[in-house]
Structure formats: structure tokens, C-alpha cells
Amino acid sequence: MSTLEIREQSPDERKLRLVANDLIAGDIAICPTDTLYAFVCTLSNRSGIEKICKLVGKKPEKANLSIICSDLKHISDYTLQFSKSTYKLMNRNLPGPFTFILRANNKVPKLFLSNRKSLGIRVPNSKIALSLVELCGEPLVSASVHHPDSTDVFLAQIEEIEKQYGHQVAWTIDAGEGGLMGSAIIDCTGEEPEIIREGPSPIL
């Protein structure tokens, strides 16, 4: 495991390429987002997805994984068609601290090793996370970093994150203290959007 200090406001592309190259090769990393630190791997990395599920203590079919896209253009590759109003809702709020639950298309069960019918989509307001997506050339699967003894306790201090998980990932990106509140979750699989969990910012 190695730790890289990378500034959120002006990320060092050379350092990001080191992480991206190992993600492409099949490793996993710990990356900041605009809310919590997250375990990430490339979407095509089945063994990485399985490892992330083990780290968060969930079976693949029950793990609350989401995918980080660089923009809204990627999203339709993995979801069924959604309404114009849903698109406008996402467009108003992304990038930002929101996870939108959409109906998944038939690619997703094969990728996630489970028969899931929906998918959480994120476009975080994080230059580091979005740059990694661009450098990897595909979305990243992500899951929030929590304390090994409690899924309700998120880790924000990089020293604690390294202590608990540093030996199990290829890279830890240190962008300073992380947040302690997850993104808002908005379920868009029904007729009307439903807020499942409030986040650090109100939805517009």
C-alpha cells in the first residue's frame, strides 16, 4: 500500500496516473469524493468488486455499491431509459453530493455479480474522483469507507483509514480530512422521485 497526497483543488495528474494505472490493472484504491472517502475499482473489475464487497462486509447482491461517472453522458450506458424530468433533476444537481437510483439495464447484473434491478449513480463534485474516471476510461464502482466494526461510523481521518484498510488496497489518496455524511439518495425508479436519505446539500 502507498499513500499519495493530492490536492483536491489542483490534482497532480502524474500521481493520479499512478493510481489509475493500477486500477486499470485490477487493483482497488481509497479515493476522496465530495462527501466521504470511498473504496473504488473500475466497473469492469469483477474481482475488485468482490473485494470491495468483502471490505464493507456485504454480499454482492446486498452491497450498496454505486458507480461514479464523469458526466451524465455515461449514465445511459448502464440504465434503462428515464424521463426528461429525471434528467433535468440530475442535470441541476450534478456534479454534487447526490446518488440517484435508476433502473438498471441488462449489463448491470453481469458486472455486479448479482441480479440487481437498480443502480446508484454518482457524479461527485470532486476533481480527483472525476479525473480518475477519465484516466481509467470507464466508471468506477464505489462504496463508502466505514469503520470495520460499524457500517454507521464513517472514517474521515486519513491516519485511521490507513490503519484500518491501508494494507488491503493498492493506493490511498490523502486529500485531507473527509466528510462524515454520505450523499443524499434519491430514488428515481418510480413515477415520482423519492428522497431516501438526506445529504449535506438540499436537492434543487
Residue 38 in grid coordinates: 470511498
Instruction: Check residue 146 and give its pLDDT.
Output: 93
Please check whether residue 168 is in contact with residue 48, taking contact to mean a CB–CB distance below 8 angstroms. no
Pairwise CA distance, residues 103 & 125, whole Å: 23
Phi, psi angle pair for 96, to nearest 5°? 175, 175
Instruction: Check residue 129 and give its pLDDT.
Output: 98
Q: What is the H or E stretch that residue 135 is in?
A: helix 127-136
**Locate cell 493520479: which residue?**
16
The residue-averaged pLDDT of 94-100 equals 97
pLDDT tens-place string over residues 130-143:
999 999 999 999 99
Banded model confidence at residue 112, pLDDT cuts 50, 70, 90: confident
- Indicate the SS3 state at residue 57: coil
The residue-averaged pLDDT of 52-76 equals 87
Q: What is the H or E stretch that residue 19 is in?
A: helix 13-24
The residue-averaged pLDDT of 95-116 equals 85
- pTM for the model: 0.94
Instruction: Check residue 66 and give its pLDDT.
Output: 93
The residue-averaged pLDDT of 96-116 equals 84
The residue-averaged pLDDT of 20-43 equals 97
Q: Is the per-residue pLDDT at 113 higher than 70?
A: no
Specify the pairing of strand 38-42 against strand 140-144.
Answer: antiparallel
Of all residues in the chain, the percent with pLDDT exceeding 70 is: 98
The H helix count followed by the E strand count for the chain is 6, 12
- Indicate the SS3 state at residue 112: helix
Which of 6-15, 46-55, 73-82, 161-170 is predicted least confidently? 73-82
Count other Cβ atoms within 10 Å, centred on residue 115: 9
Q: Is the per-residue pLDDT at 68 higher than 90?
A: yes
Instruction: Check residue 117 and give its pLDDT.
Output: 85
Instruction: Check residue 109 and give its pLDDT.
Output: 66
Banded model confidence at residue 94, pLDDT cuts 50, 70, 90: very high
What CATH superfamily is the domain 2-197?
A: DHBP synthase (3.90.870.10)
Of all residues in the chain, the percent with pLDDT exceeding 90 is: 81
Pairwise CA distance, residues 32 & 37, whole Å: 4
